[in-house]
Amino acid sequence: MFTDLPLDELHTYRPPRPEPAGFDAFWRRTLDEARAHDLDARFAEVDAGLTLLHTYDVTFSGFGGHRIRGWFLFPRAAGGPLPCIVQYLGYGGGRLLPHDWLLWPSAGYATLVMDTRGQSGPNRPGDTPDPVGSGNPGVPGKMTQGLLDPDDYYYRRLFTDAVRAVEVAHGHEAVDAGRTVVAGGSQGGAAALAVTGLVPGLAGALIDVPFLTHIRRAVEITDAGPYGELTRYFAGARGHIDTALHTLDHFDGLNFAARSSAPALFGTALRDDVVPPSTGFAAYHHYAGEKELKVWRFNAHEGGGGEQRAAEITFLRELFG
């Protein structure tokens, strides 16, 4: 069943943004603190059996100087610096294996895949620990870790890692830094959207079924997926709801969208109960850069799947001429 507003209302749905005072100063301070640590990007070539690609195991310093893992792949036949896709991952999973990331190298681009700190799963293994404790009692998962203070919140660390991953890509000789695109779906879409608002000069963004946008509405209309961690926490932490929502405002994609300038392709699905479509439409309508939106009427959180990927291939081909 459709899970949200009718499509004609979604096409004009542009709610107010919950921007907290000092939003820009908070993120400027956060990134300044991260950049006080040497990025120390290291690329160790590995034999993954992919004879047409250079494949590297990547490590670099993210938030707090914590070491973040990733993969870096690009075609051996490359004749010069390439456009680069910086890929962020969905909730509950890690960087997988190099052969899981063949799409963008096959299309002729370099690809930097950022592992997600503290997340892994049986079918999506990760390799990056999160050495920071939760800071306050919460429910299982990442959504309530450090929730009562923006400085302590889990996504402050993750979004900072995501910015540093772009800096890693920019520093590699195989990459044309002026043609860098950020990409991701769900949690990865949230990270990509955040980076568009924090890093100037990006060439583009691929933002699919983005999580952590219009959060105050999301927690009122769905208990599914990661948002359910928040609603379960709120049910017990009755006296902390306003404090927690204030923290979440610092990480809401609507506020990053309003600061974005890179051309972007969005995707949303009308039967998505994990990321309600009104939240994706809200991010799209607030996005300040050039933008396109693919709407999948009878799909859920998988969105357009392979057809969204095909649209992204076309989008990048047109973007890079």
pLDDT at 86: 98
Give the residue from 165, 175, 177 showing the smallest Cα distance to 54. Answer: 175
| Cα 305 to chain centroid, rounded | 17
Within a domain: residue 63? yes
| Residue 134 designated active-site | no
Within a domain: residue 37? yes
Instruction: Give how far Cα 238 sits from Cα of 149, 228, 242, Å.
Output: 16, 15, 9
Residue 131, Cβ neighbours under 10 Å: how many? 10
Q: Which of 240, 246, 285, 301 is catalytic?
A: 301
| Residue 301 designated active-site | yes
**In the sheet that 175-185 helps form, which strands lie side by side, from edge to edge?**
42-45, 53-61, 67-75, 110-114, 82-87, 175-185, 204-208, 264-269, 291-296
Please report, for the domain that includes residue 88, its CATH number: 3.40.50.1820
Q: d(Cα 219, Cα 197) in Å, to the nearest integer?
A: 23
Within a domain: residue 114? yes
Within a domain: residue 321? no
Tens of pLDDT along the chain (321 residues) come to: 787 999 999 999 999 999 999 999 999 999 999 999 999 999 999 999 999 999 999 999 999 999 999 999 999 998 889 999 999 999 999 999 999 999 999 999 999 999 999 998 777 778 898 988 756 677 778 999 999 999 999 999 999 999 999 999 999 999 999 999 999 999 999 999 999 999 999 999 999 999 999 999 999 999 998 999 999 999 999 999 999 999 999 999 999 999 999 999 999 999 999 999 999 999 999 999 999 999 999 999 999 999 999 999 999 999 998
- Residue 126: give the domain boundaries: 7-316
Q: d(Cα 182, Cα 175) in Å, to the nearest integer?
A: 14
pLDDT at 134: 58
| Residue 170 designated active-site | no
Q: pLDDT tens, 258-286?
A: 999 999 999 999 999 999 999 999 999 99
Q: Which of 61, 186, 260, 278 is catalytic?
A: 186
Number of separate domains in the chain: 1
Within a domain: residue 107? yes
| 3-state percent helix, strand, coil for the chain, nearest multiple of 5 | 35, 20, 45
pLDDT at 28: 98
Helix (H, G, I), strand (E, B) or coil at 184: strand
Within a domain: residue 262? yes
Within a domain: residue 170? yes
Q: Which of 272, 273, 278, 286 is catalytic?
A: 272
Within a domain: residue 2? no
pLDDT at 140: 77
pTM for the model: 0.97
Q: pLDDT tens, 132-173?
A: 875 667 777 899 999 999 999 999 999 999 999 999 999 999
CB 311 within 8 A of CB 247: no
